[in-house]
Chain A
Amino acid sequence: MLYCISTGEQILLSDNAASLAVQAFLQMCNLPIKVVCRANAEYMSPSGKVPFIHVGNQVVSELGPIVQFVKAKGHSLSDGLDEVQKAEMKAYMELVNNMLLTAELYLQWCDEATVGEITHARYGSPYPWPLNHILAYQKQWEIKRKMKAIGWGKKTLDQVLEDVDQCCQALSQRLGTQPYFFNKQPTELDALVFGHLYTILTTQLTNDELSEKVKNYSNLLAFCRRIEQHYFEDRGKDRLS
């Protein structure tokens, strides 16, 4: 069972991306999952991050541990890779986490326009009046501190977009003309990239520059579409909003 924050009203860009990545990964492993949406999924999770899966009596959150957990159960997508490729895969996953995820967080929480219009409203939507503001501000403060700690605090939006662009360029070059990042078989890197890119492309924000940056790279677009068709169409999920 996959828990994530309820889509539509509450979910935010970064969380959506993560959830989608995990879903994609599990689909790629051909594991049946049931997605459950809860408003307080963030608090239910053991590490405070969504999404998390609940299997039997174990709860595992975040893509990394989930991948390992699934591997321990015998399903793995990256067995066919040799050592060097595995190193590259890990490196690229970190790149995505480092750049794309942080950029998403930045956009959501540190960019005033987005924060005011979208994030606050969405984040606090299931809660009654004072609580929604308080929680939103608290989360914002926390994210801002984190940004400062990693040095993104002083970045302007343009710099962030430039970083995203660089990241996409790197991904695009790595992908080249192959169907997946490591040729024929999808791996967790593909799931992660798909999750992020898809949500960036399909989420409505105050400014569309982020998705514009991604759209510049046609092979990434084709990549997303391919995965979507392959793994999600048959299920007819409408969660991929």
Chain B
Amino acid sequence: MLLGGPPRRSPRSGTSPKGPQSSTGHVHFGKSPQTWPRRTRPRSPGLAAPSGVRGSTQPKRRDFPRRAWLTALSRYGARLWMGRRPSLPEARGPAPRSAAASRASRSLASPETSPSPLPATTRGAVAGGGSVQGRAGAQKEVFPGQGAGKMAAPMELFCWSGGWGLPSVDLDSLAVLTYARFTGAPLKVHKISNPWRSPSGTLPALRTSHGEVISVPHKIITHLRKEKYNADYDLSARQGADTLAFMSLLEEKLLPVLVHTFWIDTKNYVEVTRKWYAEAMPFPLNFFLPGRMQRQYMERLQLLSGEHRPEDEEELEKELYREARECLTLLSQSLGTQKFFFGDAPASLDAFVFSYLALLLQAKLPNGKLQAHLRGLHNLCAYCTHILSLYFPWDGAEVPPPRHTPAGPETEEEPYGRRNQILSVLAGLAAMVGYALLSGIVSIQRATPARAPSTRALGMAEEDEEE
């Protein structure tokens, strides 16, 4: 079924004019690989619909849970299938290169033809292949029948779940996810909101096929590269050098400001970041984890920027923001009019830049000076939306149309709320019964009921007498 997926796409190309967003029917399957904790569903409390979402008016949305389950399985399968592409050792050289070219052309084609997600339920398979198909399309003739030997123990990626129209709200998780999408690595993605559930205690974390756990994002990407999912394969040496340089630039200039914007700036933190994390995390954690994360980030920022006296803090902030704006402008100039930083195929640098920019663009920040500046740089905005729509069509459509929005938080709240209701009722009952027993209003002893209802006492006395 999965292998038959790609060829079957073409006939249905006309069915959806909406392009990639039409896969919104599978909006949630992006998250379905996770287990029962529904609360990890993305918060889409009506925040700005990202440009990736356009008229996701799929009536199928209603039965998404069932489909989600189906699509989850099939998506996993699609990933398996997809993943075989790079795992061919001998085809490694020529295949990725042709893949890159055809990938680009395919991905260009996919918005127009992207039929896959649409209608039928089993299309869920292809949906998962949705944009993945865009990349894999070219390879189908290369290895349709390849064995899945490598997929014995697939790699699992644990990352923060999505929100604000993005597949993940955390910088590192987003970068790793994007890179995985670019290269089509067969990852089983667990989107969770509880960092304690990840194997290493922090997110993102990758559990490799050998069982070891890696949590540093760079190391995760290096590992993926080693497993031959390398997005930088086509880069020249000079471009590789440029990659390193630009990544350092990002880390030095943009990262502190991003951290500041999301975690330290009070208004943003309270209204956006903390709210999201508190809602996303399961019960006891949401009280203290966001605060702890904030403290960690603050400490990191302070260490990075050196000691500064309190009265200089304003200055420091201004300085930081100025440098960040400069950095954004530089990025914009480097990108120019190209599709990706190094031509037509995405590389690891694109993954990182995208994660930074997307977070900045999509989150609805009350205090968004940097955001405003970024919005003014049109080629960067276009770049972000392009990647979002190409590689995360269903996730990008997570911020659903208004119709779904009220349903969203409610359905999320419900299991939560209902469970709480039940618990509280039980607790109340238990308390009442316990009190009654203890104080003797109701007694189950037959022997000398202290203040048993008279009728009962009589009844029992009579019984005793009768016996």
Residues on A facing B (Cβ under 8 Å): 47-49, 83-84, 86-88, 90-92, 94-95, 97-99, 145-146, 149-151, 166-167, 169-171, 173-174, 176
Contact digits for B274-318, partner A, Cβ 8 Å, 1 yes 0 no: 000000000000000000000000011001101100000000000
**Chain B minimum-CB-distance residue to A64:** B323
Tell me the bound Cα distance from A145 to B300 in angstroms.
Answer: 9
CB distance from A24 to the nearest CB of B (A): 20
Contact digits for B362-404, partner A, Cβ 8 Å, 1 yes 0 no: 0000000000000000000000000000000000000000000
A91: chain B residues at CB < 8 Å are 242, 245-246, 248-249, 330
Tell me the bound Cα distance from A91 to B249 in angstroms.
Answer: 5
Q: Is the CB of B330 within 8 A of A86?
A: yes
Q: Is the CB of B300 within 8 A of A149?
A: yes
CB distance from A166 to the nearest CB of B (A): 7
CB distance from B268 to the nearest CB of A (A): 22
CB-based A-B contact count at 8 angstroms? 74
Contacts A84-B333, A91-B330; is A48 near B237 (CB within 8 Å)? Answer: no
Contacts A87-B331, A87-B334, A174-B242; is A150 near B248 (CB within 8 Å)? Answer: no
Q: Is the CB of A149 within 8 A of B303?
A: yes
Q: Is the CB of B333 within 8 A of A83?
A: yes
A88: chain B residues at CB < 8 Å are 242, 245, 334
Query: B253 interface residue, CB < 8 Å from A?
Result: yes
Query: B216 interface residue, CB < 8 Å from A?
Result: yes
**Chain B minimum-CB-distance residue to A82:** B333
Q: Is the CB of A94 within 8 A of B242?
A: no
Q: Is the CB of A94 within 8 A of B300?
A: no
**Chain B minimum-CB-distance residue to A98:** B248
Query: B241 interface residue, CB < 8 Å from A?
Result: yes
Contact digits for B443-465, partner A, Cβ 8 Å, 1 yes 0 no: 00000000000000000000000
Q: Is the CB of B241 within 8 A of A170?
A: yes
CB distance from B360 to the nearest CB of A (A): 18
Known: A90-B249, A91-B249, A94-B253. 10 other contacts (CB 8 A): A49-B306, A88-B334, A94-B248, A98-B251, A149-B300, A149-B304, A150-B304, A170-B245, A171-B241, A173-B240
Q: Is the CB of A47 within 8 A of B248?
A: no
Q: List 12 A-B contacts (CB under 8 A).
A: A48-B306, A83-B330, A83-B333, A84-B333, A88-B242, A91-B245, A92-B245, A98-B251, A146-B303, A151-B216, A170-B245, A173-B237
A171: chain B residues at CB < 8 Å are 241
CB distance from B341 to the nearest CB of A (A): 11
Query: B244 interface residue, CB < 8 Å from A?
Result: yes
Query: B170 interface residue, CB < 8 Å from A?
Result: no
- Count of chain B residues with Cβ under 8 Å from any Cβ of A? 27
Q: Is the CB of A167 within 8 A of B304?
A: no
Q: Is the CB of B330 within 8 A of A99?
A: no
Q: Is the CB of B300 within 8 A of A95?
A: no
Q: Is the CB of B241 within 8 A of A87?
A: no
Q: Is the CB of A174 within 8 A of B238?
A: yes
Query: B156 interface residue, CB < 8 Å from A?
Result: no
CB distance from B133 to the nearest CB of A (A): 34
Query: B252 interface residue, CB < 8 Å from A?
Result: yes
CB distance from A18 to the nearest CB of B (A): 14
Partner of B241, one of A47, A48, A174: A174
Tell me the bound Cα distance from A94 to B330 in angstroms.
Answer: 13
Partner of A47, one of B238, B242, B244, B306: B306
**Chain A minimum-CB-distance residue to B303:** A149
CB distance from A216 to the nearest CB of B (A): 15
A150: chain B residues at CB < 8 Å are 303-304
Tell me the bound Cα distance from A171 to B299 in angstroms.
Answer: 32
B242: chain A residues at CB < 8 Å are 88, 91, 170, 174
Tell me the bound Cα distance from A91 to B253 in angstroms.
Answer: 10
Q: Which of A48, A49, A98, A169 has the most CB of B within 10 A?
A: A98
Q: Which of B216, B237, B241, B333 has the most CB of A within 10 A?
A: B241
Tell me the bound Cα distance from A210 to B334 in angstroms.
Answer: 32
Tell me the bound Cα distance from A181 to B237 in angstroms.
Answer: 15
B216: chain A residues at CB < 8 Å are 151
Tell me the bound Cα distance from A170 to B333 in angstroms.
Answer: 21
**Chain A minimum-CB-distance residue to B301:** A149
Tell me the bound Cα distance from A91 to B250 in angstroms.
Answer: 8
Tell me the bound Cα distance from A167 to B242 in angstroms.
Answer: 11
Q: Which of B237, B244, B253 has the most CB of A within 10 A?
A: B244
